[in-house]
Amino acid sequence: MTTSTISHNRLVRALLPPAFWLGAWQLGAMAIDAALGGHGNELLLPYPASVAAAFVSLAGTKEFWLTALLSLARILAGMTLGTLLGLALATLTSAFPLADAVLSPAIRVVRAAPVVSFILLVLLWVHRGWVPVVISAMMVLPVVWANLSRGIQETDPKLLELARAYRFSTGRTIRLIYAPCVRPYFLTALSTAMGLAWKSGIAAEVLCLPPLSVGREISNARLYLLVPELFAWTALVVALSLLLERLIARLLDRWKGGEA
């Protein structure tokens, strides 16, 4: 198979899924438009062209990019905080059985409880601008804690015995024994946590309406029946989420390559 054929096949595989779903969207909008006699279609399922026009119009303003940047900053701050807390709690609960008995049930409750309940509770306790940060951290923490705890528990006991025999310091044991064993679990946790942080953070913005936030714009578009704008802001959320996941995947691949 020639290089040009391979490139052509890759291009087809890349373009076919979006072309299929855009076509389905267009047909669905046309069917609704026909059913409504050409009236009110934009309130139910706008055409892709209408959404694209709304997106271009929004993207031409400074407020659009500032709003996207601030929402992104809140969610990344929450993910960072949740990752650090998950790392600290995994270390604590793995080292001390009493700490595990006390803290593990609370972490499992956070993982199992509805996100909306936590959003409304946190809104009573902190400023609304910080609610997405706290909620994102709360959703990330259990994932990081569970994965790192499992990685620590499954560290080869023979390696730990070897470290004790050679009288490794605590820092050297962590660097040479625990870190390589825990790394795959940590990478998995980060990949999973990114999607959770983004979705929960935007949901928190929709409910608590901090200024200059994507969630606030989504809520306003719904309230004023600006459906093309609602689709456009949702498309931004999806695009940013996919971009962040791809970026994290690239960084993790580079990290794994550097550690090899």
119-149: pLDDT as tens digits: 989 988 998 889 999 999 999 999 999 999 8
Same-domain status, 120 and 131: yes
Q: What is d(CA 148, CA 79) in angstroms, rounded to the nearest whole number? A: 15
Model pLDDT, residue 161: 78
Model pLDDT, residue 110: 86
Q: At what angle do helices 62-95 and 48-59 cross, to 10 degrees?
A: 90
Same-domain status, 118 and 24: no
Closest CA to 88 of 103, 105, 78, 74: 103
Same-domain status, 120 and 249: yes
Going along 4-86, which residue ranges are E strands? none
Going along 117-192, which residue ranges are E strands? none
Which of 45, 60, 78 is the last residue in one of the domains?
A: 45
The tens digit of pLDDT for each residue in 87-121 reads: 999 989 988 889 888 988 888 888 888 888 889 89
Model pLDDT, residue 192: 83
- Does 213 have pLDDT greater than 90? yes
Interior angle at CA 248, CA 246 and CA 252, nearest 5: 115
Pick the more confident residue, 103 or 172: 103
For residue 153, give every residue at least 6 positions away whose Cβ sits within 8 Å of its Cβ, in sequence order, or none. Answer: 94
Q: At what angle do helices 179-208 and 62-95 cross, to 10 degrees?
A: 130
Same-domain status, 172 and 182: yes
Domain count, the chain: 2
Instruction: Evaluate if pTM is beyond 0.95.
Output: no
Same-domain status, 100 and 10: no
Model pLDDT, residue 112: 83
- Does 251 have pLDDT greater than 80? no
Pick the more confident residue, 75 or 175: 75
Model pLDDT, residue 40: 61
Closest CA to 237 of 189, 197, 192: 197
Question: Hey, CA dihedral for 82, 84, 89, 94, is it positive or negative?
Answer: positive
Local confidence band at 260 (pLDDT 50, 70, 90 cut-offs) = very low
Q: What is d(CA 70, CA 86) in angstroms, rounded to the nearest whole number? A: 24
Closest CA to 154 of 128, 180, 129: 180
Same-domain status, 52 and 168: yes
Same-domain status, 69 and 9: no
Which CATH number covers residue 145?
1.10.3720.10
The tens digit of pLDDT for each residue in 20-59 reads: 988 998 898 888 888 877 666 677 888 899 999 999 999 9
Q: 74: domain range?
A: 46-259
Pick the more confident residue, 62 or 254: 62
- Does 154 have pLDDT greater than 80? yes
Model pLDDT, residue 4: 63
